[in-house]
Amino acid sequence: MAEPVLLVEDRDRVRTLTLHRPDRRNALDQELWYALRDGIVEAARDETVSCVVLTGSGKAFCAGQDLAEMADPSVFEDREPGYRALMPELEAFPKPLLAAVNGVGVGFGLTVLLHCDLVLIDEQARLKAPFASLGVTTEASASLLLPMAAGWQEAAHLLFTEPWVDAAEAVRLGLALRLVPAGTVVAETQALAATIAAFPLSSLMATKQLLVAGRADAVRAAREREEAAFEVLVGAAMAAGTPPGSSPG
């Protein structure tokens, strides 16, 4: 029997969702996109869960979209891309969502943090947003949320030059709350989540709703603009025989 691609653990009213494709640095294929979507939906509905922690297996947090799969259109014939299935549920998630960035985060491994309420990052972790170099553009409403978090010029620098961002820089840019000693980020994030989960769930959900209410429509609109731009870019690249992720030369 194959291992699940998403591990689920409950403790102290905290549910930990662990991306589990360590051999692929937890890159998201259709199976994992949908497993994460289902995990988010189930955690939202479960009254015994007050807080969720998102992390990754092994040495990586998340390497973003599995590019090998994206290059195969037949994968998407039976159902819509898992990213599109996940994002509305992630945007609407009604409970505190924390991230424990245990290792490298690339693409969605960075942009998902913009949808988390609190982020702790391992001191050895690094982040990167490689969209333009792959022939595509931002995702997960990063075109809106990244400038909100880091400021316009910092966001433009991250997107146009694609530097690696170390843990200290991630904190400075507002992508994480704080860095923690190597190997402790999951435990520290779960402890923080347990503190939060001890409060009444009704209060937590009301507070979360108020926090996101002012930006909800803008976040959805930004994602829809990004998806439209992505389709144009991918369509042009495919017509030219250079699918995203390949060299134009």
pTM to 2 decimal places: 0.94
pLDDT in tens, 33-85: 999 999 999 999 999 999 999 999 999 999 999 988 776 766 677 789 999 99
In a domain, 173, yes or no: yes
Beta strands in the chain (DSSP E): 6-11, 14-19, 51-56, 60-62, 97-101, 104-106, 118-122, 126-128, 165-166, 178-180
- What is the C-alpha to C-alpha distance for residues 70 and 155, in angstroms, rounded to an integer? 26
pLDDT in tens, 138-153: 999 999 999 999 999 9
In a domain, 10, yes or no: yes
Q: What percent of the chain has pLDDT over 70?
A: 92
Residue 239 has pLDDT above 70, yes or no: no
What pLDDT is attached to residue 23? 96
- Mean pLDDT within 219-241: 87
- Mean pLDDT within 26-31: 96
In a domain, 45, yes or no: yes
In a domain, 238, yes or no: no
In a domain, 220, yes or no: no
- What is the C-alpha to C-alpha distance for residues 121 and 101, in angstroms, rounded to an integer? 5
Contacts of 50 (CB under 8 A, 6+ apart): 13, 14, 95, 96, 196, 197, 199, 201, 204
Specify the DSSP element, H or E, that contains 43: helix 30-45
Residue 237 has pLDDT above 90, yes or no: no
Q: Which residues of 181-210 are buried (b: 16+ CB within 10 A; e: fewer)?
A: eeeebbeebbebbbebbeeebeebeeebee
In a domain, 123, yes or no: yes
For residue 175, give the nearest of 121, 218, 220 by alpha carbon.
121
In a domain, 154, yes or no: yes
Give the 3-state secondary structure percentages of the chain, helix then strand then coil, rounded to 5: 50, 20, 35
**In which domain, by residue range, is 32 found?**
6-183
CATH number of the domain to which 159 belongs? 3.90.226.10
In a domain, 88, yes or no: yes
Number of domains making up the chain: 1
